[in-house]
Structures are given as structure tokens and as C-alpha cells.
Structure 1
């Protein structure tokens, strides 16, 4: 599936920027823009396409993204706290040093994306798919994950401390490295192979000493 497959693709009108706070963007296409420190708190995006967009040190707190297509974006040190995402696809994009804490993510697909040092603390994720993604130093502490899956994704230095998981499927992850917060995996699905790999970490978290002789 790509942008041309979206039912609103033929309605999109180009928008040269900039982004503005509390602005409503409806069936708008942003192409190959580089925006430095845009201030767009409370903006809403409905049936929009963001393609080749670079945002450096932006602020989009409480912004809303509904039925949007996000492709080849690069968002660095950007504040997306308390944003709402629903029925969106994010493909081939980079999020680095991004704050998404307290956000609401529903029916969101991230495909072939790289998430580096992303803060998702206390966020709510429902029916979210991380497909063929790289997650490094991503913090899900105190987040609620329901029906979330990670097929083909690598999770490195990912934290789930005090998270609440329900129907969250980690079996498809190609790498699962958790430095701490193992108790937050309660309610998750993992494979037997992953269990064996995580066993020493589980033992350490429980204060169990493993000794063969």
C-alpha cells in the first residue's frame, strides 16, 4: 500500500508551509520541506500526506493526525507530547530524540521506521503495528499497550517499566533487548526462544541467583 492507494489521494492540494499553531489542515500535501523549530501546538491534520518532511526541534504538542500518510519524514528533537494519531501510516521515517509522552495512538502502522531515543512514557497505544522497524532506547514506561505487535522489528535498550500490556505480541521481534523494567512485560506474548534469551534478565530482576555448581 502506498499514498496512491489512499481514498483521499486525488483530493490533496500542495501546501508550501509553514506550520502554524491551532491550524486545521484538511486534504493537504506537504512535500520535501525542511522546517526548523516550527511552532504548531494544537494543529490538526485530516487526510493529509507528509512526504519527505524534515522537522528540527519542532513543537506540535496536542496536535491531531487523522487518516494521514507520513512517508520519508525525519523528525529530530521534536515535541509531540499529548498528540493524537488515528488510522495513520508512517513509512520509511526517522524519529530521533522525539517526545511522544502522553500521546494517544490508535490503529497506527509504522513500517520500516527508525526510532531512536523516543519517549513514549504514559502513552496509550491501541492496535499499533511496528513492522520491520528499528527501536533503540525507546521508553514505554507507564504506557498502556493493547493489541500492539512488532513483526520483523529490532528492539534494543527498550524499556517497559510499569507498563500495562494486553494482547501485545513480541514474538515477531527479531531482537528483544531490555535493560530493565522486565516486570512491565506482564500480559505480553513472547516465544520460547525469547524466553530462553531473557531468562538471565528475568532472574536478575527477581533477585534469583543461578549457579550450576
Structure 2
């Protein structure tokens, strides 16, 4: 995947750019990239105080070691893409279309997928502070070796949300668990939460 890429010129990283078959290394992003299209591109060691990707498309591309306090990508499209070994304070992918994405080895404070279509996505060996899937439509989403302080599933719909590989300390949106897969250990740890949801008193 992604062979014979042409070195890209960082001056071409602008809003609305149409970028195809390019490799960018060590670029600092200071301006908006809203509406840009990355097709079969590799983005290595990007950095910026705020990376603006509103409405952008990341297609058949790989992002490696992205570092930014904020990545703002509402309404963006991610398809057949990878986000690897990245450090992001807040990653806003709300109202986005996310299909066949792998996020691996990354530390992300808050990932916001609220209202997004999230299908065939794998989060592998990632540490989060909050994962927000509120109002998302999910299918075949899995976590492997991940942790988060808070998981939000308010009004999430869909099937095959595999949470067995996600260690979470707090859950918001109990109804969003419908169609999810939990391990026996997770169910045991959440027994009190389940009982409270169904109005059951647990006493000795």
C-alpha cells in the first residue's frame, strides 16, 4: 500500500487542495485544510496548534505520528485510512463518514464521533480520556487493548459494537449498549449500573 509516492510540497497544504499520491513529512500546519482531499497520500509527523480538516476527505491514506492539541474535522470523510502513533488532545470527527479506518498506537484525549457513520473501524492499543459515540450509527466497530475514562453512547444505534477490548471507567447513555458485545468481566463490573437502569435493588 502507498508505494511510489511523490514527495509533496508543504505549500500545497491549503484549504480545498486536491492531493493525490503524495508523501508529506515533517510539515507544520498553521492554516486551514478544510475541504481538502487526500487520496493515496502519506502524512508523516504532522504538527500544529490546531489542525483544521472540516469537510476534508482522507481516502486510502496513512497519517503517521500526527501531533496537535486540537484536530477539528467535523463533516469529514475517512475511508480505507490509517491513523497511527499519533498524539491529539481533542479529535473532533462529529457528523463524519468513517469507513474502514484503523486507529493504532495513539493517545487521544477526546475523540468525538457524535452523529457520525462509523463502519468497519478498529481502535487498537489506544488510550483515550473520552470516547463519544453519541447519536452515531455504528457497524462492525471494535476496540483492542484500549482504555478510556469515559464512554458515551447516548442514542447510538447499530450492531456489532465490540467493547470487549475497551476498558472504561464511566458510561453515559446506557441505552446505546443495545447491539454491543461485552465480556463477562465487563458485565460483572457493571452489575450495579445494570440494576440501577432497570430499577432493581440489590441487597444482602
TM normalised by structure 1 equals 0.90
Match of 2:11 in 1: 17
Pick closer, same or farther for the CA change 1:17–1:204 going to 2, 3 Å: farther
Which has a greater percent of strand? 2
Where structure 1 has 5 or more consecutive residues not aligned to the other structure, the ranges are: 1-5
The 8 Å contact of residues 18 and 35 in structure 1, kept in 2 or not, is answered as no
* C-alpha distance after superposition, 1:92-132 (max 9, x if no partner): 01222222100111011111111212221101110000011
The 8 Å contact of residues 17 and 30 in structure 1, kept in 2 or not, is answered as no
Match of 1:151 in 2: 144
Query: Runs ≥4 in structure 1, deviation > 3 angstroms?
Result: none
CA RMSD of aligned residues (A): 1.5
Instruction: Spell out the pairing of 1:53-132 with structure 2 (5 A cutoff).
Output: 53-132=46-125
Match of 2:23 in 1: 29
TM normalised by structure 2 equals 0.93
Q: Shift in Å at residue 30 of structure 1?
A: 1.5
State the alpha-carbon separation in 1 of the partners of residues 121 and 185 from structure 2.
Answer: 24
The 8 Å contact of residues 24 and 43 in structure 2, kept in 1 or not, is answered as yes
